[in-house]
Amino acid sequence: MNYWLMKSEPDVFGIDDLKSRKDQTEPWDGVRNYQARNMMRDDMKKGDQIFFYHSNCDVPGIVGIAEVVREGYPDHTSWDPESKYYDPKSNEENPRWFMVDVKYKKKFKRTISLNELREHAQVLSDLALLRKGNRLSINPVSKDQWDYICGLE
């Protein structure tokens, strides 16, 4: 099993939004970055665990856990001209962008903030999230990192 961290802006779609969705499940659409696409298309498997990260907000940090419930499939918003994620270079015959479905698992009692994670830089030195200039919306997390961060709650 693999572990991931996925960023989302709580003003747009936060963990409470995921929890209140039908089946507590949502397609992770709108990702328009090739590295992130490749991870969703090739690497994220059913049952993989996900840290749900809130970005661009008062206290950025990990707020809970989700799970991959459907593996990579074409992101149909990419060929919908009405969608804000529309990409004229993508179409149904030759989809350029992919997504996975994620399901709510739990919300942490408190936010494990980016600042707090930085305080553990000794242990989490390889955490992609903490690397300078990291803007990837999906990051791999090792099992050790996963267990350690879960222990912080």
7 binds DNA (CB under 7 A): yes
Helix residue ranges per DSSP H, 52-113: none
CA geometry: angle 152, 125, 44, nearest 5 deg: 75
Q: Give the containing element (helix H, strand E) for 53.
A: strand 49-54
On the 0-12 / 13-18 / 19+ scale of CB atoms within 10 A, 1 is exposed
Q: How far is CA 11 from CA 33, 78, 123, 142, in A?
A: 21, 22, 31, 28
Residue 60 binds DNA, judged by CB under 7 A: yes
In the complex with DNA, which residue's Cβ is closer, 46 or 59? 59
77 binds DNA (CB under 7 A): no
**64 binding DNA? (CB under 7 A):** no
How many whole angstroms separate alpha carbon 60 and alpha carbon 115? 8
Q: What's the closest the beta carbon of residue 34 comes to DNA, in angstroms?
A: 4
Residues 80-109 that bind DNA (CB under 7 A): none
Number of residues that bind DNA (CB under 7 A): 19
Interface characters, 124-153, with DNA (x: CB under 7 A):
-------xxxxxxx----------------
22/132 with CB nearer DNA: 132
Q: Which of 57, 69, 128, 152 binds DNA (CB under 7 A)?
A: 57
Structure tokens, 115: 């600042």
Kindly list the residues in this chain that would bind DNA in the complex (CB under 7 A): 7, 9, 32-35, 55-57, 60, 114-115, 131-137
